[in-house]
Structure 1
Amino acid sequence: MSEGSPASFGCRSGFFCPAGSAAALPCPPAQFQDASLSSSCAWCVAGYYCAGTANLTSRYAVCPAGHFCGVAVSFPTACPPGSFARSPGSRNCSDCPIGFTCRQPGTVEPAPCPPGFYCMLNNSDPAPCPVGTFGNKSGIKTEAECRPCPSGSFCASRGLTAPTERCLAGHLCEWGANESASTADTMTPSGMQRSGACPAGSYCVTGASAAVVCPAGTYCTGGQTLPAHCEVGTYNPYSNQTACTTCPSGYVCSPAGLADFKQGLQCPAGHFCTAGMKSLEAGRCPRGTFSNGTGLANISQCRPCPAGMYCVETGLVAPSGQCSGGFYCSGGSAEANASVCDARAVCNGTSCGGCGGVCPVGSYCPSGSGQPTPCGAGRYCGTAGLWQASGPCDAGYYCGSAGGWSARPDGNVAGSGPCPAGRYCPVGTVEPLLCPKGTFSGTVGNRNVSDCVACVAGHYCPYTGMTNGSMFPCNAGFYCPSGMSEGSPASFGCRSGFFCPAGSAAALPCPPAQFQDASLSSSCAWCVAGYYCAGTANLTSRYAVCPAGHFCGVAVSFPTACPPGSFARSPGSRNCSDCPIGFTCRQPGTVEPAPCPPGFYCMLNNSDPAPCPVGTFGNKSGIKTEAECRPCPSGSFCASRGLTAPTERCLAGHLCEWGANESASTADTMTPSGMQRSGACPAGSYCVTGASAAVVCPAGTYCTGGQTLPAHCEVGTYNPYSNQTACTTCPSGYVCSPAGLADFKQGLQCPAGHFCTAGMKSLEAGRCPRGTFSNGTGLANISQCRPCPAGMYCVETGLVAPSGQCSGGFYCSGGSAEANASVCDARAVCNGTSCGGCGGVCPVGSYCPSGSGQPTPCGAGRYCGTAGLWQASGPCDAGYYCGSAGGWSARPDGNVAGSGPCPAGRYCPVGTVEPLLCPKGTFSGTVGNRNV
C-alpha cells in the first residue's frame, strides 16, 4: 500500500479494522458492527443474537419464536421441553399450561394433551391413562379425568382412547377391568375380582357358558380360548392338565399333540433318543459307533464299532466294513485305517486311547484285524503295514514265539538271531534245536540236523548241543564208532578174541597166533604149542585143539585140513592117512573114509568118486571099478552119469531100448537094429509122461521142443497165440509182468512218474529223470517226461508233480532239478559244444521272488545292486533316475541307458523314473538336482 486509508480497502459492516490491520477482522461471536470503517465491535443486546459472521448486514438478529436470547449471546437457545415462546425476540420461555404439552425443544405453540393421556402444568411428556381406564378426548388435565373401563370390556394397557375389546369368553369383566386374566389389584367395590381368566386345565371359547376341560395330548395354563397341543418332545396322557410330560428317553414324541409317547416314534436303529428330544437328526449315533437295536436312551448306548471293523458315517445300523489290511481297528474306529476314532472316547489325564492304526513292525494285520497279530513263531514281519507275515525265518536262523523283524535276524532282538553253535535251525525255527547226543557242531548258522557232525570215531559226545566232537576218548575195553553218545557203549564192548585200548574207533582182532578168551580186554596173549590160535572173536578159550580131519604143527594160527584122498580119525593128528580102495575121502579135513556112493566107483587114495557113465547106473555102495556099473534096462533111460537107478521111464512119445542114455534123439544112441534109442517132443508142443500125442503150448507160453511142460513168457514179453516157439516183446507204454501173459494189457500200464520202453522188465529202470516229472500214464519213452515247469524244481526221479518253488534269489527257467537251478534236466539237447541252462542266480539289475521262472526287471524308479536278490534293493536315490526297467545302483553313473544322474534343467526326487522338468520361470545349469 502506498497510503494509510486506501478507499478500496475500507472496513465493511460486520468487520472491524484496528490501526495496523493487514486485513478486515470479522466481529467475534456475541458482538456485532452494522457501520463501516469501524475499528471495534459492540456487544449483542437482549432479545437478539450475534453470530459474529460476515453474513450479518445489520447490527443484530431477532431471537426466533420458540427460543430465548439473553445479553451478549451468539446463538438463540431453544425453549426446553415443558416450555414455549410464541413471539420472536423473547428473553425467556413460558411454562406449558395445564391440559397442554410441550414435548419438543423449541416449542412455539403448546399442543392439547392427546386422547388417552393427561397433562399437568409444565408438561413435556403426556402421562398415559392407567390400565383399566381410557381417555376418549384431548386436553385431559389430571388422571382423575381418565374414564374407568365400562363393564363387559377390559382396558389392558395404558394410554387407551377406547376399551381394548370385549371380555374374552370365560371371563367376568366389571367396570375398570384392566385385563381378561385375574389379578390381585382389580377388585370391584363388592370385593369380587373385576375379571377372571378361564381356569388352568380348561379353555373358554367366546360366548361359552362354561369352561371346557383340555383333552389328553394338550395343556391349558389358564385363560386359553383353545387347548395348546403338547409340543414335539412332550406328551400328555391325561385331561385337565396345565403342562405336558417330557417324552421319555428311547422315544421321540412327534408329531405334536400326543396323548401317549408310544404313539410317537420309538428310537430307530442307528440313533439314540434322550428325554424330550425333538429331532432324530440330533440323535444320530456318532462316527465310530453304530446301533442295530431300537429304543436307545442316550449316546452311551451307541455301540462302539467292534474290533476289526470301522463305522465311517453317523447313524449307522451296522459297521461300514472291515478294517483295511495292514491296519488294525481295536474298537470305535471311524475310518478303515483307524485314523479317526469314536469321539466319545474317555480321556485319561491329557491323552485319549486310540482305536488302532498302522500295523507295527513285527506283526501283521489281515483285513478285519482288531489287534496286530504277532508275526508268529518262526516267522518274520519286516515292515510296518503288513497284511500277512513276510515269510518264515530263514534256515540257519531262529525267530522266537513272537516272530522276528527279519528273515535273518542279527540277534539284537531277544528271542531271535543266527543259529548258535551246537544247534541247528531249519526254515521257520522258533527255538534252536540241540544237536543230538552223539553229534556236535562248532559253527553257527546250521540249517539242518545233517549239519550236526557225528562225534569223532574213538570218542563219544554224551550231551546234546555239544560244540567239540573229540573231548571224551572212548573207554578202554570198548570201541566207539563215529556218532557215539557214551564212553562204554554196551553194544560196542570188546568181545573175546578182540582187544580195545582207550580211544579205539573199532575192536581190534587178536593177531594170528594170539588169543583172548575174556571180553572187554585191552590186549591179547600168545597161543600155546599143539594147538592153533586163529586170532578171531570165535575163540572163547586161550587155545583150540587141532580137530579130527586136520593136522597142526607148533605155533600155528589155523589147523591144516587133511587134503582130499586122505583122512585123520583122531584130534591132534600131525599127519593124514591114504583113503582105502572102495572108499572115498572127498573133502579136505576128512575124519572117516566114506564107502564109495551108489552110482560111482572108487580107486585107491580116492578124493573124487568116478560116476558110472551115461547109459549105466550103480545101485550099491563100495563099487571099486567101472566094470561093476550096470547097463540101463530096456524101457528106461539113464540120461546122466552117476545114476543109482534109471533116470525114469521113457518120456511120452519116445522109444528107449537097453542102454538108452536120453529121451531126445541123438546120432550116437542107435539100437543094434539101426533104430534111434529115443525121439524128442516137437517144437510148439510138450509131452507128458505116457502121452500118446504131443500137447500144443497155450497162449502166454512157448515151447522150443522136447519139453514136458510149456515155459511161461518171461517178464517183458507176452504171447497172444498157442503153438509158439517164442514170445513177443512187450510194447512201449506197458510193463508185461508177471510172467506168462497172453495179452500185454493184462500187465501194468506205465504209471505216472515213469516211462516204459518196449520189453522193459522193471519200473525202476523207467523213472523220469531229475528235472522232470509226469502226471500222466502210459509214457513210451524218456522224451515224454515233462520238463519241470518254469519257477519250479524237480529234485528226485520218478516225480508225479514238481518238488516245489524255485528259491528266492534264483530263477528256474524250466527243467531245474535243484531249487537254485544248479542241476538241470539231463535230457537237454546240446547245440555245438554247450547246453542251455535251466536258470541260476538272479543277475544284477533284477530280482527273483520264490517261484521265479525268469528274472524280474528291478522296476521303474528302483535298483537291484547285487546278484541273488529276492526283492528290489530299494528306490533310486534323490538326484538320480532309474528308468522303467530300474537300475543297477542307487546312484547310476549313466553308462546304462535309461538311468543316471539327474540332467541339468530337471530335478529327480527319490524313486524317479523320468527326470522332471524345472517349472516355467526357473532353470538349473547343474546335474543331480534332488527337489524342485
Structure 2
Amino acid sequence: MASARFFLFIVSVSYLSVQLTLTATSCSRGYFLDSSNCYPCTPGTYCPDGYRQLPCNPGDYQDSFASSSCSSCQSGYFTLQSGSITCDICPIGSMCPNTDRDPISCPSGTYQDTYGATNCRQCSQGYYSTSSSSHQCQICPKGSECPRPDQSPLACRPGTYSSDYGAYSCSQCSSGWYTTQTGAVLCNICPEGNECPRVDQPPTMCRPGTYSPYPGSSCVSCPTNTYATSSGQVSCNACPLGYECTQSDQQPRVCARGFYRDGSMNSCQRCSSGMWTKNTTSVRCEICPVGSECSTTDSSPLPCRIGTYASSINTVTCSQCSTGYYTVEVGSIQCEICPRGYYCPQPDTAPLACPNGTYSDYKQTQCSQCSSGYYSLTSKSADCILCPRGFACGDPSATPQACAVGTSADYGARSCASCSQGYYSVQNSSATCTPCAPGYFCDDSTKCPQQCLPGSYSSAAQTNCYQCSSSCSSNPGVFDCSTCVTAKPTGCQ
C-alpha cells in the first residue's frame, strides 16, 4: 500500500513538473514557488499563500498534494510529528484527549477496551484495576469487597462476608450468625445452646439459667418452674413437684416441712391454716380431721383434749365446750349437753347429779335450790314438787311435814300456820282452819267448838259467848237471841 502511494506521488510530481515549465512570480494556493517555478505542496505539508511550503503541525496531517491547509486528526487519533501524512489511532488501554500528544495510559480504576478513545472508562461497581493501561477491569472475588476501583480487593473483615463476585462492600452477618475469619464467603449459624451477640466473635455458650433451643437463636432465661445448672443448654429442666426453682441457675430446692408445691405454683407455699404436712418435698397438704387440731403446719394433728372439740376439718385450735356442755373423751367432734337433774361445772368433767332439795334443767353449771314451798326427795331431780295442802316444806330436801291440830297450810307452804282466833283444826294435815260455828265459842284452836250455855249466844268465829238480854235462856248454842236459832259446828261430833 505504501509503495503504491509512493508511485502515485512520483507520477503526480512528474506530471505537474511537466505542466509547470513556465517561469512564474507567484503560485496558486496549494503550490509553492521555488526558483521561479511553481510546485505542488507534497503530502504532509501545506501551501497557504502560493509561496511557502510548510510542514503540518503535530496533531495535523495532510495526505494529498497541492493542499493549502492541514487537517486536524479526528477524535481518538494523534500525531506527534510535524509533516504527518496520517494520524495514529489511540491504542486500547489509553485515551487521547489531545491529538498532538502521546496517548495517556488509563490510570488505576479505569480501563479502555476499544481503539480511538478520547477518555478512559470508570470500572463498574464491584470491579477494580490497580495497574495503568488496563483494557479491562477485574471482578471483585468472593470473600472480598471493592469499595474503590483503583485499589486491590479488601478481604472481608470478621463478622462480614461476600458470597458473590463483584461485591462493592461486604455484608454483615445476620443476627444469629457469625464468622471469625478474614475473607469469609459465608457466615456460620450460631449453634444451639450458644448465642452470638457479636458477629465477629465465636459463639458463647449459654450461661446456667438460660438456654438456646435452636440454631441461630439467642440465649433466653429459663421459663418459670424450670432450671439449667450447666452451660450450653438447649432446653431447661422441669422443676419437680415438691421442689421450688426460684433461681433458674441452681438445683431445685426441696419444700420444707409445712410447705408444698404442686404444678400450679411457682414456689413452695405454706400450708393453709389448719392443714399440715410433716414431710419435705410435699406436693399437697393433708386435711386436719374432725376431732383434731393442727396448730402448726409442720406437725401431725393432735386429738382434741377432754373438754374441747373440733366439729369441722382443718381446725387450728380445738374449741372449749360451751357453758352447760361437756366431753370426757379425747378427739371429740362435739360436746354433750348437760342433762336435766345434773350440773356440769367443768367442760372436762362428767355431769354431777343434783342432790336432794335441788334441781336443774338442761345445760346447767350448778343445781338450783328448790323454791320456797317446794321439795325434792331424790337426787337427779329435774323439777321440785309443790308442797301439798296441809303440809309444810321448810326443808326442801326432806319429806313434807303434816300440819298439827290447830294449824293449817295451803299449797307451797314452808310452815303450818296457827288457826286464827275463832277458828279451829282438830285433825292433822288440815289445809284450812274451820271458823267456829254460831252459838259456839272456840277459845282453843286444837279442840272442837264449845256450845254456848243457855241464855248466851255467839256469832261465827267467836272465842267467847255473850249473854242474851231476853229470852232463849233455856236453849244452848243460840246464835240469835230473838229467834233462839241454834247451829251445829262442822268437823266435830
Whether the TM-score (by the shorter chain) exceeds 0.5 is no
Output the TM-score relative to the length of structure 1. 0.17
